[in-house]
Amino acid sequence: MHPKDFREQALNFVAQLGLEEKTSLLSGSSFWDLQPIVRLDFPAITVSDGPHGLRTQDAFRAGHLGLTDSAPATCFPTAVTLASSWDEALVREVAEAIGHEAQTLGVSVVLGPGVNIKRSPLCGRNFEYFSEDPFLSGRMAAGFIQGVQSKGIGTSIKHFAANNQEGNRMVIDTQVDERTLREIYLPAFEIAVRESQPWTVMHAYNRLNGVYCGENDWLLGQVLRDEWGFEGLVVSDWGATNDRVAGVRSGMDLEMPASGGLNDTKVAHEVVEGSLDEALVDRLAGRVVELMLAGQAGRVEPQETDFDAHQALAERAAVQGAVLLKNQDQILPLKPSMKVVVVGAFAEKPRFQGAGSSQVNAAQLEAPLDRLRAAVKAQGGEVVYLPGYDVEFARHDPALIADAVEAAKSADAVLVLAGLPLLFESEGFDRSTLDIPSQINALISAVAAVNPRTVVALSNGSPVLMPWLGEVAGVLELYLAGQAGAGALARLVFGEDCPSGKLAETFPLALEDVPAQADFADHPRRVVYREGLNVGYRYFTTYKKPVLFPFGFGLSYTKFSYGKAQLDVARDDLSEPVRVTVAVTNTGDVRGAEIVQFYVRQKGASVFRPDRELKGFAKLCLDPGETGDASISLDRRAFAFWDDEAKRWRVEPTDFEIIVGASSEEIRAVLPFRPAVDASYNSRGAFGIDTPVILSDEQLCALGLRVTAPEDSRPFSRNSTMAEIRGHWLGRRIYAKTEKQMRAMFSGATDPVVEKMGQEFLKGLPLRALQTLSSGALTEKRLDMIIALLNGHWITALRSLF
């Protein structure tokens, strides 16, 4: 049952509560638990990360984050791998399994999926997000939410909204024009909300156009609730609360984690003072109670998780998400009777998930080397292994390369396991380059120089450069394939399964080619999305810019031919969706799946429109010689752009083309269509057809976005970060104390990546977040005094003592 089904019961419950009890519900009781009402025997519920498996631990309640020692859970492939499967049913199945594990661990809400758009390939958290495309992200998210919620467990779609970088995420002001928000950054949330009603939406840390997301009336009220009809609860990202009272006014229901009651008291005080309507508190408390009732109803008798079954599912998902990027002379699949030299320390210690809050304590974990050895054993083959680099840092080490080269010379084939070591990408910081470590690049080139039958298998959470692409025969992108990635690798490399994944993002040729880089994580307080709609393939295809691998691209061991595509238009005014169908035949020798993509292009538009936009896809799994129909329907919205003057979606009566593609660049059919709709539209010029790629302040202003100057870092305020106060004598002391406290929170972590993440997290932490960290021990008065002292206002500081 959904929380909304408990509305009446919740209202009755709230009616029995006093003001303090009601406000107590508006924040958690610990890091992961909501607030119980002990007087009425009303138990709390527990929430838990995260998107590709659970990170749950009893010790959480003792107050530490448990990044490395949560309860064993299945680590499914990360979002980037899942999205490359383009398989909504598979995502739903994975999510059902996560929901089941949540039931067994007593978790009522899973904190995922993450649907932020991959604006730049450098965002440290891209592995946790699905795609650069909003439609694909939205479909994946809808499937995930339906899967988890079918088990009576809630989800929390995150991070709402425009949280597309890790750098200074807690204070940054993301400035984006409305059309770009509506067409790029919001639709994934919109699709998921409209189609699958997540129990909760997690608001992002950042500000959006000057206002913190958790206090943003437009975002939480107008868009989320009024327009999309969201029926669930809004929860803060952990420690994101800036001004709780403002949050209450905007309908931000639940603050997490606990702030020691500090903010609840503030809210109650405002009610008593008469400046906050108690009815508002009732509404928010009611939504918290609805969520808790739904969570309680979803509880089942503790049952065992069949980890073997989930391992098998994780392997199947990892197979479906792997993308074959190069296969010269059909080097793949390798024969299991071959002598294969396996190079790369990931063979022993796989890179299978990303670091940060999504990190799962994998219930099972196979080493690729073991699975590769097992695959050749019965067939008389041989696997010889050389590490080639150290797994943590991939430091410069010519001797490791020399050993690998020696072994590679006599091999029938070389398989290099390459990619990004854990330390290179994580929640909490962004990457600074697209390069993989130079040791690994040099290793690949060196072995390929002595053995042209070299295949590279990549494990990384987002795009990398491949300077050796022309030197190797094959490349298989596994991304971060989860705990069963080893099995997927072995099955694909030796042809037990046929690769069918396609990229859910563009691999650029160089970082400079990505328009977002004009303004990405380069200012501590502000980021302006000057590239507007020019995100991912929308940009590369519109401006005909070459890329390393395009969005939607992926090879197979078999071949597919496309028949004639057909358009079925019931009513050309789009009052009913149009249907597009294309027959696809597997003309090769093995069973395989093809992902057919449908893009819409508007010709003669009066405004700038990207050359093509994904509006549908279908995946067909076919035996050799078999034909199937890929068929989708396109509604009015599929043809529309956001008219930022009229504030509505608009379709123009011009020529359109529906493009059927095997990727965003491999067009198999083009179908013309002219809708009989609204009259033509005259744009204001900005975002007109001649819009430049990067918009100036003036052009953004014409689009309705007033770019504001970044906030000054002086005088110090509640939002000053640890990095900003560090130069001050008092700031240094606060920094050191907080660092100590954070170490305790990240306890058990000797892991260098947790250490690095902790450091970056600390630097970006605003002073106000110390109140939450101290569970309210840092009172408002003391915080004011600290700020006064930091600013050298001794008298004010003294006054605040009394």
The smaller minimum CB distance to ligand BGC, of residues 430 and 652, is found at: 430
Q: Following DSSP, what letter does each residue of 687-748 receive, concatenated?
A: TSTT--SS--HHHHHHTT----PPPPS-S--TT-BHHHHTTSHHHHHHHHHHHHHHHHHTTT
The smaller minimum CB distance to ligand BGC, of residues 49 and 215, is found at: 49
For the bound state, the minimum distance from the C-beta of residue 360 to ligand BGC, rounded and expressed in Å, comes to: 12
Specify the amino acid at residue 146: Q
Residue 513 annotated among the catalytic residues of the structure: no
Of 653, 641, 660, the closest CA to residue 580 belongs to 660
Using CB under 6 A as the binding rule, whether residue 189 contacts ligand BGC is answered as no
Interaxial angle between packed helices 134-149 and 88-105, expressed in degrees from 0 to 180 and rounded to the nearest 10: 40
For the bound state, the minimum distance from the C-beta of residue 156 to ligand BGC, rounded and expressed in Å, comes to: 7
For the bound state, the minimum distance from the C-beta of residue 50 to ligand BGC, rounded and expressed in Å, comes to: 6
And the tokens for 125? Answer: 């958290």
CA 654 to chain centroid: 35
| Calculated CA dihedral for residues 444, 449, 453, 457, nearest 10 degrees | 10
The smaller minimum CB distance to ligand BGC, of residues 106 and 624, is found at: 106
Of 89, 664, 3, 627, the closest CA to residue 297 belongs to 3
For the bound state, the minimum distance from the C-beta of residue 314 to ligand BGC, rounded and expressed in Å, comes to: 21
Contact track, ligand BGC, 197-236, x by CB under 6 A: ----------------------------------------
The smaller minimum CB distance to ligand BGC, of residues 49 and 611, is found at: 49
Residue 402, class by beta-carbon neighbours within 10 Å (0-12 exposed, 13-18 middle, 19+ buried)?
A: exposed
Residue 38, class by beta-carbon neighbours within 10 Å (0-12 exposed, 13-18 middle, 19+ buried)?
A: exposed
Question: Do the bridges between strand 339-343 and strand 323-327 make them parallel or antiparallel, or are there none, so unpaired?
Answer: unpaired
And the tokens for 66? Answer: 């448990």
Residue among 177, 237, 253, 264 flagged as catalytic: 237
Of 360, 2, 362, the closest CA to residue 148 belongs to 2
The smaller minimum CB distance to ligand BGC, of residues 235 and 498, is found at: 235
The smaller minimum CB distance to ligand BGC, of residues 426 and 454, is found at: 426
Using CB under 6 A as the binding rule, whether residue 327 contacts ligand BGC is answered as no
For the bound state, the minimum distance from the C-beta of residue 174 to ligand BGC, rounded and expressed in Å, comes to: 15
- Distance of alpha carbon 663 from alpha carbon 691, whole angstroms: 26
Kindly tell me which residue out of 60, 86, 130, 238 binds ligand BGC, with binding defined by CB under 6 A. Answer: 238
Eight-class DSSP state of 472: -
The smaller minimum CB distance to ligand BGC, of residues 120 and 585, is found at: 120
Classified as helix, coil or strand, 787 is helix
Using CB under 6 A as the binding rule, whether residue 326 contacts ligand BGC is answered as no
Q: Which residues, 139 to 158, sit near ligand BGC by CB under 6 A?
A: 158
And the tokens for 322? Answer: 């792997």
Q: Which residue is nearest to ligand BGC (CB)?
A: 357
The smaller minimum CB distance to ligand BGC, of residues 156 and 683, is found at: 156
The smaller minimum CB distance to ligand BGC, of residues 22 and 158, is found at: 158
- Distance of alpha carbon 641 from alpha carbon 765, whole angstroms: 38
Q: How many residues interact with ligand BGC (rule CB under 6 A)?
A: 7
Using CB under 6 A as the binding rule, whether residue 357 contacts ligand BGC is answered as yes
Using CB under 6 A as the binding rule, whether residue 255 contacts ligand BGC is answered as no
Residues 6+ apart with CB under 8 A from 171: 205, 206, 207, 524, 525, 719, 721, 764, 766
Classified as helix, coil or strand, 102 is helix
- Distance of alpha carbon 279 from alpha carbon 285, whole angstroms: 10
Q: Do the beta carbons of residue 126 and residue 659 sit within 8 Å? A: no
Residue that is written with structure tokens 């493009």 in the block: 659
HSE of 277, CA atoms in CB hemisphere, 13 A: 7
- Distance of alpha carbon 261 from alpha carbon 212, whole angstroms: 21
The smaller minimum CB distance to ligand BGC, of residues 331 and 745, is found at: 745
Kindly tell me which residue out of 97, 111, 465, 484 binds ligand BGC, with binding defined by CB under 6 A. Answer: 111
For the bound state, the minimum distance from the C-beta of residue 242 to ligand BGC, rounded and expressed in Å, comes to: 15
Integer CA distances (angstroms), 246 to 232, 260, 355, 765, in order: 19, 19, 33, 20
Of 719, 230, 243, 313, the closest CA to residue 481 belongs to 313
Q: Following DSSP, what letter does each residue of 125-188 receive, concatenated?
A: TGGGB--S-HHHHHHHHHHHHHHHHTTT-EEEEEEETT----TTTTT-EEE--HHHIIIIISHH
For the bound state, the minimum distance from the C-beta of residue 128 to ligand BGC, rounded and expressed in Å, comes to: 8
For the bound state, the minimum distance from the C-beta of residue 760 to ligand BGC, rounded and expressed in Å, comes to: 12
Kindly tell me which residue out of 21, 237, 430, 643 binds ligand BGC, with binding defined by CB under 6 A. Answer: 237
Using CB under 6 A as the binding rule, whether residue 49 contacts ligand BGC is answered as yes
Strands (E), 184-282: 200-203, 207-208, 211-212, 233-236
Residue 568, class by beta-carbon neighbours within 10 Å (0-12 exposed, 13-18 middle, 19+ buried)?
A: exposed
**Residue length, the chain?**
802
The smaller minimum CB distance to ligand BGC, of residues 50 and 532, is found at: 50
Quick one: CA dihedral 368, 374, 379, 383, positive or negative?
A: positive
The smaller minimum CB distance to ligand BGC, of residues 237 and 497, is found at: 237
For the bound state, the minimum distance from the C-beta of residue 112 to ligand BGC, rounded and expressed in Å, comes to: 7
- Distance of alpha carbon 141 from alpha carbon 49, whole angstroms: 16
For the bound state, the minimum distance from the C-beta of residue 49 to ligand BGC, rounded and expressed in Å, comes to: 5
The smaller minimum CB distance to ligand BGC, of residues 169 and 538, is found at: 169
Q: Which residues, 156 to 175, sit near ligand BGC by CB under 6 A?
A: 158
Q: Do the beta carbons of residue 773 and residue 741 sit within 8 Å? A: yes
Residue that is written with structure tokens 């390459």 in the block: 418
Using CB under 6 A as the binding rule, whether residue 562 contacts ligand BGC is answered as no
Catalog residues that contact ligand BGC under the rule CB under 6 A: 49-50, 111, 158, 237-238, 357
Which sequence positions are flagged as catalytic? 237
